[in-house]
Structure 1
Amino acid sequence: MPKLLLSLHVLAAILAIGPVAVAASMFPAVLRRAHADRAALPALRTVHRICRVYALVGLAVPVLGFATASSLGVLGDPWLIASVVLTGIAAVVLGLLVLPRQDAALAAAEAPGAVLERRTTARLAVLTGVFNLLWAVVTVLMIVRPGSTTGV
């Protein structure tokens, strides 16, 4: 059972977090394009929808992670606790910082005659970079597992 749960956890991480990371990273550039050419608005809406949908699908990652950790008996391991904390921070960054700013930027881009402030795209890019960096650290922790006896 642990192998099945681990497989599902890894698949969920790849299939859910990957698209959010890529789409959120694309959003600032597509936003600039949409402000320059309203024909890019559908692409902006699509990238934003990908972020929102896959953020919800991404909730499966920690759920399956807890199930996997429980089945492996590692719930109290420091590397797992650190991963849980970092995953929580990543969720806050995405849910409370990135997605609401994307909502506002999309609404502004759809308004006729809207002017895009450079700091809007810069902040979105930085926040998305923080989100992606957090997930990169969690991924490394999941692979390296400090104190692991697997010999890796």
Structure 2
Amino acid sequence: MTKLLLTLHVLAAIIAVGPVTVAASMFPPAARRAAEQPGDARALSTVKLLYRICRVYAGVGIAVPVLGIATAGVMGVMGDAWVIASTVLTMLAAAALIVFVLPGQEQLIEGVEGVEGAEGAGAAAAGRLAMTTGLFNLLWVAVTVLMIVRPGSTTGA
């Protein structure tokens, strides 16, 4: 059972988190290009597609911590420091995505579309979003390192 859960956990991380990190990283420069080229339908559709990828795969990404907790429970390592640290970092990454990245993307799309009252569609907002997205990605890097190195683990890794 452990091997199955671990396999599903890793696959979920690759399939769900990977696209979000890539699409979120591609979004700020794409939004800048769309803002510089008002009326360019292709640039706007690219930005909307990247946002949709982030939103959809963020929902699918819920499977990653669920499967991770199930795997850690079966392995009997729920109280290990690396599991606790990974869980906290995962929660921080999810919060960053939900509170900053997705709303920032939505705000930039509204600005590019010219929605009345939409503010911050400029380069400064795209820069802030790029920074927040970078922090989101760094949190996932830290989780990945903890999953591989597992400090204090007695499993030989």
Provide the TM-score with structure 2 as the length reference: 0.93
Q: Which residue is equivalent to 1:20?
A: 20
How far has the Cα of 1:111 moved from its partner? 1.0
State, as a whole percentage, how many aligned pairs show the same letter: 60
Determine the C-alpha separation between the residues in 1 that align with 2:148 and 2:16.
18
CA distance in 1, matches of 2:122, 2:32: 10
What residue in structure 2 maps to residue 147 of structure 1?
152
CA deviation after TM superposition for structure 1 residue 27, in Å:
0.3
* Structure 1 residue 119: Cα displacement: 1.1
Is the CA contact (8 Å cut-off) linking 2:27 and 2:50 kept in structure 1? yes
Among 45, 48, 51, which residue is 1:48 paired with?
Answer: 51
Cα distance change, pair 112–135 in 1 and its aligned pair in 2 (3 A): closer
Per-residue deviation, 1:148? 1.3
Structure 2 SS opposite 1:4: helix
* Matched AA of 1:31: A
CA distance, structure 2, for counterparts of residue 147 and residue 116 of structure 1: 46
Partner of 1:126: 131
Structure 2 partner of 1:85: 88
Cα deviation, 1:39-64, whole Å, max 9, x if unaligned, reads 31011110000000000000000000
In the superposition, the TM-score normalised over structure 1's length comes to: 0.96
Deviation at 1:108, TM superposition (A): 1.0
Structure 1: tracts of 5 or more residues without a match: none
Paired with 1:75 and 1:150, the residues of 2 have a C-alpha distance of 14
Note the aligned Cα RMSD (angstroms).
Answer: 1.5
Letter in 1 for 2:153: S
1:63 paired residue number: 66
Specify the code of the residue in structure 1 equivalent to 2:144.
Answer: T
Q: In structure 2, what is the Cα distance between the partners aligned to 1:7 and 1:72?
A: 13
C-alpha separation between the residues in 2 aligned to 1:107 and 1:121?
13
Alignment size in residue pairs = 152
Could you tell me which residue of structure 1 aligns to residue 75 of structure 2? 72
Q: Distance in 1 between matches of 2:68 and 2:56?
A: 20
C-alpha separation in 2, matches of 1:86 and 1:35: 33
- For residues 115 and 149 of structure 2, the distance between their equivalents in structure 1, rounded to whole angstroms, comes to 50
